[in-house]
Amino acid sequence: MLKKFKEILHGVLPKRLHIGVSPAGITLLRTRKGFTSEAVVLADAALPQGSTASPDTVAEQLRTLLAQTNCRGLVTTIVLADPLVRVFMVTPPRNPTRLQDCQAAAAMRFQTLYDTPLADWHLSADWNANQPFVACAVPRSLLDSLKQASGEHRLALIEISPHFVVAWNRWRARLAPGDWFGVMHDGTLTLGVTKHRRLAAVRAAAVPTPALMDTRWLSGHLMREALRLDVPPPPRLQLCGSAPNQWVMSTEESLKCVWLSPQAHDLGRPSVPSGVALASAGFQ
């Protein structure tokens, strides 16, 4: 009787589609919550080499994968790998009187950092008039292509977000005072430097292949970033994404690394393909 009830409940529980998009490929992950969380990889396909994840190429590959799977009508979130977007910190202007003042400060910061017109990018932020806030910019062409492909397959698209932002929102409550936060994906480590448990800086760096087996590189990298930002180095780095086991298992006394996804069922563990880890970043 109980088994039959579970089967009936399983049939009516809502499904969700999580799409991960990176310069290397696209992953479709379907999830469902019930007595236990369920996740099924529907598709995991590489983009053509040299395509540089152009919006047209991404949209065409997404259309192909959606046509091969039964996803129509599913509530959908899309997670973009950090190299496809721009994530940065903004200091609010003095004595702002309206939201437009913070928006102007973010636009100026973007122009200073990347020397490219903001008109071609969609800007969103955790707007704050009293202290520095995180902002992110997504190419409008990529955003429009993803929305169009999703609409053609009648997906209920509710969110398109950068990997770092999704991971930060998921795990920020777990950070203790002094902890730094890190997201590792496809050889890129994006650091969230914290102050009073709030983001104070966001720094991204490519990780050399030998460094994946050497925790001395990680501790040295964090020390260099702390010196650049004139802040104390962290006693602990909380990691998520495809973090190397060697970093987490390190016995170095100067730095403790904690992997935020230790559960065997969690799809963010290092042993799974990076595309799956990307698509599952916001799945809880």
- Asked whether the predicted pLDDT for residue 91 surpasses 60, the reply is yes
Angle at 168 between CA 166 and CA 173, to 5 degrees: 125
Neighbours of 245 (CB within 10 A): 13
Q: Specify the range with the lowest mean pLDDT, choosing from 65-69, 160-164, 244-248, 258-262.
A: 258-262
Instruction: Say if residue 26's pLDDT is above 90.
Output: yes
Lowest average pLDDT, out of 8-22, 34-48, 61-75, goes to 8-22
C-alpha span between 41 and 263 (Å, rounded): 18
Residue 280's pLDDT is 76
pLDDT band at 42, cuts 50/70/90?
A: very high
If you compute the radius of gyration of the chain from its CA atoms, what whole number of angstroms results?
A: 20
Q: What is the pLDDT of residue 267?
A: 44
- Taking only the tens place, the pLDDT of each residue in 168-214 is 999 999 899 999 999 988 888 999 999 888 899 999 999 998 888 88
- Coil/strand/helix, residue 17: strand
- The pTM for the full model equals 0.86
Average pLDDT value for residue range 157-177:
92
User: What pLDDT, on a 0 to 100 scale, did the predictor assign at position 92?
Assistant: 92
Query: Which are the contacts of 205, defined by CB distance < 8 A and separation ≥ 6?
Result: 188, 189, 191, 221
- Provide the pLDDT confidence category of residue 132 given band limits of 50, 70 and 90: very high
Average pLDDT over residues 217-232: 91
Distance between CA atoms of 103 and 90, rounded to whole angstroms?
10
Cα–Cα dist 157/268, whole Å: 22
